[in-house]
Amino acid sequence: MKITSLEEYGLRCLLQLSQADEEKGMTVREIASLEGLSPAYVEKLLRLLGKAGLIHSVRGMHGGYLLSRKPNEINLGAVVRALGSVMTTQEICDRHPGNRASCVHIEDCCIRSAWATLTGAIENFMDKVYISDLIGPEAKVRRTLQRRVETPFTV
């Protein structure tokens, strides 16, 4: 799985907002400063997150951005889908046709099942991890996520 800069930095912006004052929120400049990003890039990320309904803006002199839902109601899958996506099995197969227009194994491919199972497991995991699970010291977050991995996935 390839994590894009949009997904990484968008998630970091959401984590900042998850810890912001629930009435005031945070400004673009505050988030940009804390994350070492340009304000223009943060604006782009927030626009995408807003379009997906994950955040909203508060207008006015003391306005800023807030989460649209509580951190325990926004899962990582929703964030990734707002900013990019997990590559589908078909996209994987389409990228590797050899020197032909389509893969020689298009009708019967034993590898396709592996990619389908893997992408399904990734999506399932991301849908079980919430923003609230990612808040705190790294060791605590690691324990939380390891418990998620120990939970059987349905693909």
Q: Residues 6, 45: contact at Cβ < 8 Å? A: yes
| Per-residue model confidence (pLDDT) at position 46 | 97
Secondary structure (H, E, C), 130-149: EHHHHCCCHHHHHHHHHHHH
Q: How far apart are CA 53 and CA 71, in angstroms?
A: 13
By three-state DSSP, how is residue 26 classified? strand
Tell whether the torsion through CA atoms of 122, 123, 128 and 134 is positive or negative: positive
Q: Give, in degrees to the nearest 5, the angle at Cα 45 between 132 and 130.
A: 15
| Per-residue model confidence (pLDDT) at position 77 | 93
Fold classified for 5-150: Arc Repressor Mutant, subunit A (1.10.10)
Distance of CA 144 to CAs 5, 65, 101, Å?
24, 27, 44
Q: Residues 77, 14: contact at Cβ < 8 Å? A: no
pLDDT-flagged residues of the chain (< 70): 1, 96-97, 103-105, 151-155
pLDDT (tens digit per residue) in 44-80:
999 999 999 999 998 877 779 999 999 999 999 999 9
Q: Which helix (H) or strand (E) holds 64?
A: strand 64-67
pTM of the model: 0.82
AA letter at 149: V
